[in-house]
Amino acid sequence: MRIAIVTDAWHPQVNGVVRTLDTVIGILRAQGHDVEVIAPDLFRSFPAPSYPEIRLALAGSTQVGRRLRAFGPYAVHISTEGPLGWAARRWCQRNRHPFTTAYHTQFPDYLARRTKLPASLFWPFIRHFHRPAERIMVATGTIRAELREQSLTQLHHWSRGVDTALFHPDHAPPDLFLRLPRPIQLYVGRVAVEKNIEAFLGNTHPGTKVVVGDGPALAKLRAEYPDAIFLGKRSGDELAACYAGADVFVFPSKTDTFGLVMIEALACGTPVAAYPVPGPIDVLSEGSGAMAGELEDAIATALTFSREACLLAGRAYSWEASAEQFRRGLEPMAPQERAAAAAPLTA
């Protein structure tokens, strides 16, 4: 199958959306599918306000449409609600090309946290963007229920996976961890306001708080929490060693739809503490993840869990299964539609 994926989130960004797409695309290509990625690196772009590492493409439906038509996709998937996503959506509608979308981020809550405006102001934007899609791919039951309440009902389950060859409990902990007061509480992810990291760093449970990641809030949090350890970006074996060497992984976010880092921690045998919100509610199981209204309570409970139970919970997720769910959710054009799409239409 010839699959075009349009995404505003792509390398060199480091986040769950990019990692998910990158891994699934790799599997699809290995299976013989022809996948074209239309991302900001193909166009002139400018840095997003307050997020300089995120580039916003200066491209409209004409430029995006040229690339789509040149590739001739059987299926178009629009991954994000950014400039490229809107451009691809306009082109698909104009040319009657079916497309699918994905709901990766709780944008109304995300924007509400950044703008201090009510989340309800942003739902019309989400409904308008996703309503024409043949299917909207979502990762969890909680998010499906939330979108149904917004009259978005064409939903398709697309879960996530974990690389168990990389994320496993046999990594030696970083040397630094051997000198830190226990329990070691770990956060991994973007260091940004919407991740609610202050709640993690400000919790009163004894031990050492370690942050792995980079982002626009890093300097501010370093200054405000001098007792915490900030390791910056880590990847590969270094990241896996941080997971495996921690006593508990803390996931303070209230705006994620899944939380890929949680299952990476579990696959390393490390229990998870989180708030009882979408994402953790769907991902965490009894005996591997603890949820509470106060992080201190969740951390205390998670520290009692068996690391073997956490390991089994993490290994239940497969990237191969995720890629198959994604493929099944695509809406390929019928043969007659593909023939019509080859004719000159609107750019």
pLDDT of residue 106: 85
Residues 327 and 255 reside in one and the same domain: no
pLDDT at residue 47, as a whole number:
86
pLDDT band of residue 116 (cuts 50, 70, 90) is: confident
Task: Write out pLDDT tens, residues 48-61.
Answer: 876 777 789 999 99
Percentage of the chain lying above the pLDDT 70 cut? 95
Domain that holds residue 290: 175-317
Band the pLDDT of 112: cuts 50, 70, 90: confident
Residue 236 lies in a domain: yes
Q: Do 157 and 27 fall into the same domain?
A: yes
On whether the CB atoms of residues 54 and 48 are closer than 8 A, the answer is yes
Q: Taking a C-beta distance cutoff of 8 angstroms, is the pair 325, 158 a contact?
A: yes
Q: Sign of the CA dihedral 29, 32, 36, 41?
A: positive
Residue 316 predicted with pLDDT over 50:
yes
Domain count, the chain: 2
> Does residue 168 lie within any of the structural domains?
no
Q: What pLDDT score does 183 carry?
A: 98
pLDDT of the residue at 340: 53
- CA distance from start to end of the chain: 23
Confidence bin at 88 (pLDDT 50/70/90): very high
Average pLDDT over residues 79-94: 97
User: What average pLDDT does the structure give for the chain?
Assistant: 93
What one-character DSSP code corresponds to residue 333? P
Indicate whether 105 and 241 sit together in one domain. no
Residues 42 and 100 placed together within one structural domain of the fold: yes
CA distances from residue 69 to 101, 109, 341 in whole angstroms, order as listed: 19, 35, 8
> Across residues 131-155, what is the average pLDDT?
96
Q: Residue 41: its pLDDT value, please?
A: 95
- Residue 335 predicted with pLDDT over 60: no
Separation in Å, CA 343 to CA 66, 80, 339, 346: 13, 28, 7, 10
Pair 187, 261: CB distance under 8 Å: no
Q: Name the pTM for this structure.
A: 0.90
Question: Would you place residue 338 in the very low, low, confident or very high pLDDT band (cuts 50, 70, 90)?
Answer: low
Segment 179-202, tens digit of pLDDT: 999 999 999 999 998 899 999 999
Residue 347 lies in a domain: no
The pLDDT of residue 87? 98
Does one domain contain both 74 and 220? no
Residue 270 one-letter amino acid: T
Do 51 and 11 have their domain in common? yes
Question: Does residue 22 carry a pLDDT above 70?
Answer: yes
In this structure, are 150 and 28 located in the same domain?
Answer: yes
